[in-house]
Amino acid sequence: MQRSRLKNISRLIFIFFLSFSSDRVALAQANYSVLITEILADPTPSHGLPEKEYLELFNNSTKPINLNSYKLYYNTSEVSFPSVNVEPGAYLIVCRENNVSFLESYGEIVGLSKFSLLNGGTKLRLEDPAGQLVHEVVYSDDWYALGRDQGYSLEMIDLSSPCRDGENWTSSAAEQGGTPGMTNASSQNLADLDGPTFLAYNNIGDRTYEFVFSEKLSLSQETLDVDSPELEIQEVSFSSVTNSALNIKFKNPLPESGLFDITFNTIADCSGNLSAPVVVSIGNIPSPVVGDLLLSEILFNPKSGGDDFVEVYNNSERSINLKGIGLMRGDEEIVVLSTSNLILEAKSFICFTKDKQTLIQFYPKGVENNILEVNKLPSYNNDEGLVVLVSADGLELDIFEYNEDMHHPSLDDVDGVSLERKSFESSFKDWESVSSSENYASPGYKSLDVSENGFFEIIVLTPVFSPNNDGIEDEAQFNFKIHATGNLDAHIYDINGKYITALSQGQYVTNSLEMTWDGYSTSNEPMPVGYYIVYAELRTATRIYQEKHKVVLGLR
């Protein structure tokens, strides 16, 4: 009964807030009537266009719009538009007034008294005469396609999703470097079917908490439904700082201890996609003390095109707040990993990297929800170095001195191979290379089985297989159950002991893995029906384990 009453109160409060926040309602209505659809910030060298900076605007409404007294904010400057009409569905080129003659042959154009763009990126904000936001783009040089930056414009890909950021922009596909005054060469439909996901929350004072989401939110979503079964919500508002956040003000301060659920029953992104109900637990979560937070895995020598990562583990029995924690290399400056509340549950992992997408591509077993992309990490040397984990107040939580000689001696190439802590109860020096079965790294989870009892077993998952491409047991599947670090050789022989093919040769492993045989020999010849033997040797530092098992190749 209490939950229902509080939910109704929250809804009434939010409707009241919408009714009396006329600026916000008007802002939602003004949004996206005129769009910034193309940006040429770095026109040199030319690929055919004049070497002059420009913007392209598009009338996204159903009525003619006169831009008189509209304002463009760029870098740290602002400039007002003169009287110029833009028809519905029409484009307008915007440049500095002394460059109009160079660009006027490409379409309708207006010159501004001042205008300058930064090559590396800046915020562009268009406001109507009442000061209401019409469209805002914070572009970056990261938005360019590889090799298409200098002399190429940035184009909005899908004009029906103007609120989306970098994923909806790319370098122009036009040979001349851009498409001023016409449909973008990179235009295509980008389906956006996913609602916003929750990222973090911050206490911003006066009993108010900011809840940050993964994308821009709909400012006119009247069905926004927020409630809390234990905390009385006084006010819900959109953040005035970022359009991807909501602010919730509570009637009373949060209790000193405990977690309290806030439920976002419905919340929409700027494209109108509703999220599934999101439950966020907030509270006065303690910061880690010595022994709570440990370094658990380090990749200091990444593959070409990849980045380092550092993984930490909550070794305590309670949730801890990682806000303000940092990494450093020796006595160098601390790199703060999170400036907002970041809650890590007990016995959980979180991995920090500068490039989450590439990390997942290289290590597809990585637990994506446990990987956090950060702007900066200390620059760790490939051969040796020091990783120091510190708390928000500079307290040293953990330290790890690594070198590449700590990798398993059987590894000829250690690029892209991480070192992982074997146990959270043993010395911090007890580290080991991650197994090939995990693609040599395990970001966001623990790959090692620390019950090193020397046990080694082959389990045949398909005792009888028939490689006839019917989609049913076309391959023999084997599970090599391993609880020791070593090198694995696995081969297939026929019933008479004749060598057929190899499954593994000297593969470095630390835990169980699966392999398959397609029924062909090493010379790619199909083998006849009959009995076959999989024979394997696991060589550890102390002994050699040998196992074999029979498998039947049935009708082809």
Q: Which residue type occupies 352? A: F
- Please give the pLDDT value at position 15: 32
- Please give the pLDDT value at position 251: 94
- Please give the pLDDT value at position 276: 84
Secondary structure, 3-state, 152-191: CCEEECCCCCCCCCHHHEEECCCCCCCCCCCCCCCCCCCC
Residue identified by tokens 């593959």 is 303
pLDDT for residue 420 is more than 70: yes
Q: Which pLDDT band, with edges at 50, 70 and 90, does 162 fall under?
A: confident
Q: Which pLDDT band, with edges at 50, 70 and 90, does 7 fall under?
A: very low
**Whole-angstrom distance, CA of residue 295 vs CA of residue 397:** 9
- Please give the pLDDT value at position 542: 65
- Please give the pLDDT value at position 5: 35
**Whole-angstrom distance, CA of residue 60 vs CA of residue 32:** 7
Q: Which pLDDT band, with edges at 50, 70 and 90, does 129 fall under?
A: very high
Q: Which pLDDT band, with edges at 50, 70 and 90, does 12 fall under?
A: very low
Q: For 228-260, what is each residue's pLDDT tens digit?
A: 988 999 999 888 777 788 999 999 998 877 788
Mean pLDDT of 333-342: 89
DSSP type of residue 302: P
Mean pLDDT of 80-103: 97
Mean pLDDT of 67-88: 95
Cis peptide before 45 (omega within 30 of 0): yes
Mean pLDDT of 138-151: 91
Nearest to 150 by CA among 116, 184, 119, 186: 119
Q: Which helix (H) or strand (E) holds 54?
A: strand 54-59
- Please give the pLDDT value at position 82: 97
Q: Which pLDDT band, with edges at 50, 70 and 90, does 410 fall under?
A: confident
- Please give the pLDDT value at position 429: 58
Q: Which pLDDT band, with edges at 50, 70 and 90, does 223 fall under?
A: low
- Please give the pLDDT value at position 330: 78
Q: Which pLDDT band, with edges at 50, 70 and 90, does 411 fall under?
A: confident
CA angle 112, 114, 116 (to 5 degrees): 110
- Please give the pLDDT value at position 4: 34
CA atoms within 13 A on the CB side of 228: 21
pLDDT for residue 435 is more than 50: yes
Q: For 453-505, what is each residue's pLDDT tens digit?
A: 446 889 999 999 999 988 899 999 999 988 777 889 999 999 888 899 999 98
- Please give the pLDDT value at position 29: 40
More confident residue, 64 or 369: 64
15 token code pair: 């409707």
Contact (CB, 8 A) for 47 and 176: yes
More confident residue, 511 or 62: 62
Q: Which pLDDT band, with edges at 50, 70 and 90, does 432 fall under?
A: confident
CB atoms within 10 A of CB 423: 12
pLDDT for residue 16 is more than 70: no
- Please give the pLDDT value at position 20: 31
Mean pLDDT of 397-421: 90
Output the DSSP codes for 450-512: ------EEEEES-SEE--SSSSSS-SEEEEEEE-S-EEEEEEEEETT--EEEEEEEEEEESS-
Q: Which pLDDT band, with edges at 50, 70 and 90, does 200 fall under?
A: confident
More confident residue, 1 or 449: 449
Weakest mean pLDDT among 98-102, 443-447, 454-458: 454-458
Whether pTM > 0.85 for this model: the answer is no
pLDDT for residue 108 is more than 70: yes
| Orientation of helix 2-20 relative to helix 22-30, angle to 10° | 70
Q: What b/e string do you get for 340-358 counting C-beta neighbours within 10 Å, with b at 16 or more?
A: ebbbbeeebbbbbbebbee
- Please give the pLDDT value at position 426: 54
pLDDT for residue 14 is more than 70: no
Q: Which pLDDT band, with edges at 50, 70 and 90, does 450 fall under?
A: very low
Output the DSSP codes for 190-201: ----PPP-EEEE
Contact (CB, 8 A) for 156 and 37: yes
- Please give the pLDDT value at position 6: 34
Mean pLDDT of 86-93: 97
